[in-house]
């Protein structure tokens, strides 16, 4: 072979090699292994679910086999807190990553048309927006309660798909709420009660025919199948309104709980069971579409259970609306095969404020540099079983009629003020029921926590709305806005 032919052969060989190398690299990029794919995120939120109202958290009279299996195969959080002890503000915190008091959403949006034109400020980017920008298919199913007009609608807050209702609650049986809706319309009532309004899908009215909990489970499965067909990772915010009042359950679900004598408790149990049944069907769809192994499932409640409406927060003191543990400490678990520790109980405190940075980190999404966050990315601490909030304080605050309840927890210690009583101090790690007040024995610790709570309160803004509406006059006429005496420890 001549020198010329040898050179030509070498050149052709190199070109062929490089071409194959580039093709193989492209093929690898296009066909990533499941381990390298960003996870699907299924976020399941219950409404007013009690701390002890699921089997994995101690329920003995309510059966939740599907949730229990997921919790058993994942990690249970024993000290999970939301950022506010009732509905709207808690949801605002979860989706914005901000304490609701810092963005003017300290109160629920008022019902029945009184909130028209109001909603969570659009200056705050919702958790869904960075995910959407990172290529996620995003959905919100169920209860919204964050604004009803166009600029506050889920489809304009980072969610590609929304199916549900925009207000703070709803009746469960379509045949009942449709009749009542039509009756109020015929009587000329304007506005019609929020709990009777038709459901919607992306702004279009829907003639729903199923029990609402079943409808939301059905739509979640539909969304999951669509995500698979789009070949995109998904973020689904599934916000059941169960077991929030009105207490309404299907006959076949009630049949499961004949052993419960109290009718409210029995109906409540059946409503929780319907959620569990729906989650079981969703898991089947995840497995059927091959998405289960790469889906992080998060389950929790928006606040503590309402013990006046069938809930049980044992062993916690208090209920929905309180700054006692029972108001804002909630049942929670993570499930993600081979990524979330199996069979672990995570006993360190975490906050719903942590979801925004943590989940966007897992999604590989970019959070704008100017986005203020009150939580933190806890993933590394969580997976290494370390305290993500060591020496950091988590707060709760609820404005009542003319006064304010407050709580501040740091590591083992919690300071709490409720119902205009003196400040109390508890070792919350060893006294989860808040029975033994240690304020006299540890005055320095109490003073430190109260001072931190007071400094935190100085970051708050004026409420953008009030619920009930008469609280606005009370806010302006009293000293509520200036927290007068709230942070005074001595009773002199």
Mean per-residue pLDDT, 311-315: 98
256's tokens: 């499961």
C-alpha to C-alpha distance for 208 and 236, rounded to whole angstroms: 20
Query: Using 50, 70 and 90 to split pLDDT, how confident is the model at 308?
Result: very high
Please report whether residue 490 resides in a domain: no
pLDDT tens string 350-397? 999 999 999 999 999 999 999 999 999 999 999 999 999 999 999 999
Total residue length of the chain = 492
Query: Using 50, 70 and 90 to split pLDDT, how confident is the model at 484?
Result: confident
CB 145 within 8 A of CB 168: yes
Please report whether residue 367 resides in a domain: yes
In 196-281 the beta strands, taken as DSSP E runs, fall at 199-201, 204-206, 234-239
122 in the same domain as 100 = yes
Please report whether residue 388 resides in a domain: no
234 in the same domain as 133 = yes
Pairing of strands 204-206, 199-201: antiparallel
Query: Using 50, 70 and 90 to split pLDDT, how confident is the model at 480?
Result: confident
Residue 11 has pLDDT above 50, yes or no: no
Please report whether residue 19 resides in a domain: no
Q: What is the DSSP string of 51-98?
A: TTSSGGGT-SSS--HHHHHHHHTSEEEEEEE-SSSSHHHHHHHHHHSS
428 in the same domain as 303 = no
Residue 337 has pLDDT above 90, yes or no: yes
Please report whether residue 364 resides in a domain: yes
407 in the same domain as 273 = no
Residue in the structure block whose two tokens are 């203020």: 372
330 in the same domain as 198 = yes
Domain boundary residue, one of 383, 403, 419: 383
336 in the same domain as 194 = yes
| % of the chain residues with pLDDT over 90 | 89
| pLDDT value for 184 | 97
CB 147 within 8 A of CB 104: no
317 in the same domain as 410 = no
Please report whether residue 25 resides in a domain: no
Give the range of the structural domain holding residue 302, as residue numbers without chain letter. 38-383
pLDDT tens string 70-104? 999 999 999 999 999 999 999 999 999 999 999 99
Domain boundary residue, one of 331, 362, 383: 383
Mean per-residue pLDDT, 408-431: 97
Residue 429 has pLDDT above 60, yes or no: yes
| pLDDT value for 461 | 97
CB atoms under 10 Å from CB of 144, counted, come to 26
C-alpha to C-alpha distance for 423 and 150, rounded to whole angstroms: 43
The DSSP element (H or E) to which 380 belongs, if any, is helix 379-383
219 in the same domain as 71 = yes
Look at phi and psi of residue 130 and say left if phi exceeds 0, alpha if psi is from -120 to 50, else beta. alpha
Q: Can you say whether the dihedral through the CA atoms of 321, 327, 328, 330 is positive or negative?
A: negative
Domain boundary residue, one of 350, 383, 416: 383
459 in the same domain as 321 = no
Residue in the structure block whose two tokens are 């929790």: 300
Mean per-residue pLDDT, 262-268: 98
pTM: 0.92
| pLDDT value for 478 | 82
Please report whether residue 2 resides in a domain: no
291 in the same domain as 419 = no
The DSSP element (H or E) to which 6 belongs, if any, is helix 3-30
How many domains, in total, are found in the chain? Answer: 2
In DSSP terms, which residues pair with 143 in a beta bridge?
165
Please report whether residue 332 resides in a domain: yes
| pLDDT value for 491 | 63
Task: Identify which has the larger pLDDT, 23 or 61.
Answer: 61
Mean per-residue pLDDT, 460-489: 92
Query: Using 50, 70 and 90 to split pLDDT, how confident is the model at 53?
Result: very high
CATH number, domain of 310, equals 3.40.720.10
| pLDDT value for 63 | 97
Residue 416 has pLDDT above 50, yes or no: yes
| pLDDT value for 3 | 43
CATH number, domain of 405, equals 3.30.1120.10
Q: Considering only CA atoms, which of 172, 228, 163 is closest in space to residue 196?
A: 172
Mean per-residue pLDDT, 450-477: 95
The DSSP element (H or E) to which 350 belongs, if any, is strand 350-351
CB-based contacts of 54: which residues, under 8 Å, 6+ apart?
A: 62, 64, 67, 68, 71, 272, 276, 331
CB 41 within 8 A of CB 359: yes
320 in the same domain as 273 = yes
* Mean pLDDT across the chain: 93
Which residues are designated catalytic? 87, 145
409 in the same domain as 370 = no
C-alpha to C-alpha distance for 100 and 94, rounded to whole angstroms: 9
Q: Residues 30-35: contacts with CB within 8 Å, 24+ apart?
A: 34/293, 34/294
Query: Using 50, 70 and 90 to split pLDDT, how confident is the model at 492?
Result: low
């Amino acid at each position: 072979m001549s020198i010329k032919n040898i050179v030509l052969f070498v050149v052709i060989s190199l070109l062929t090699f490089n071409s194959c190398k580039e093709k193989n690299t492209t093929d690898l990029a296009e066909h990533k292994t499941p381990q390298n794919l960003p996870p699907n995120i299924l976020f399941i939120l219950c409404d007013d679910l009690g701390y002890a109202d699921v089997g994995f958290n101690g329920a003995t009279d309510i059966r939740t086999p599907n949730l229990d299996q997921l919790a058993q195969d994942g990690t249970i959080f024993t000290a999970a807190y939301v950022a506010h002890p009732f509905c709207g503000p808690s949801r605002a915190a979860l989706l914005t990553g901000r304490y609701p008091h810092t963005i003017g959403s300290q109160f629920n949006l008022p019902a029945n048309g009184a909130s028209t034109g109001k909603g969570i400020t659009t200056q705050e980017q919702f958790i869904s927006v960075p995910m959407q920008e990172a290529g996620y298919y995003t959905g919100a199913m169920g209860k919204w309660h964050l604004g009803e007009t166009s600029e506050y609608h889920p489809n304009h807050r980072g969610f590609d798909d929304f199916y549900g209702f925009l207000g703070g609650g709803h009746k469960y049986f379509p045949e009942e709420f449709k009749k009542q809706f039509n009756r109020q319309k015929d009587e000329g009532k304007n506005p019609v009660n929020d709990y009777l309004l038709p459901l919607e899908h992306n702004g279009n009215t829907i003639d729903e025919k199923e029990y609402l909990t079943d409808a939301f489970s059905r739509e979640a499965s539909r969304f999951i199948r669509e995500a698979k067909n789009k070949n995109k990772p998904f973020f689904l915010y599934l916000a059941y309104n169960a077991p929030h009042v009105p207490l309404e359950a299907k006959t076949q679900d009630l049949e499961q709980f004949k052993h419960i004598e109290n009718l409210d408790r029995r109906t409540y149990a059946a409503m929780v069971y319907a959620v569990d049944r729906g989650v079981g069907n969703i898991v089947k769809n995840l497995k059927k579409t091959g998405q289960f192994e790469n889906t992080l499932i998060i389950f929790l409640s928006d606040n503590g259970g309402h013990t006046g409406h069938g809930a049980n927060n044992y062993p916690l003191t208090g209920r929905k609306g309180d700054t006692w543990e029972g108001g804002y400490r909630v049942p929670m678990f993570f499930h993600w095969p081979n990524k979330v520790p199996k069979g672990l109980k995570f006993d360190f405190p975490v906050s719903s404020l942590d979801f925004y940075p943590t989940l966007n980190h897992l999604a590989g999404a970019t959070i704008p540099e100017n986005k203020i966050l009150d939580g933190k990315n806890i993933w590394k601490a969580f997976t290494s079983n370390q305290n993500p909030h060591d020496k950091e304080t988590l707060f709760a605050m609820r404005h009542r009629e003319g006064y304010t309840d407050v709580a501040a927890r740091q590591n083992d210690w919690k300071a709490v003020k409720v119902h205009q009583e003196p400040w109390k101090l508890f070792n919350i790690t060893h006294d989860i029921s808040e029975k033994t007040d240690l304020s006299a024995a540890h005055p320095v610790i109490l003073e430190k926590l109260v001072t931190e709570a007071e400094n935190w309160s100085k970051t708050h803004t004026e409420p953008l709305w009030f619920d009930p509406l008469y609280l606005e006059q009370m806010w302006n006429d009293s000293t509520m806005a200036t927290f007068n005496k709230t942070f005074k420890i001595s009773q002199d």
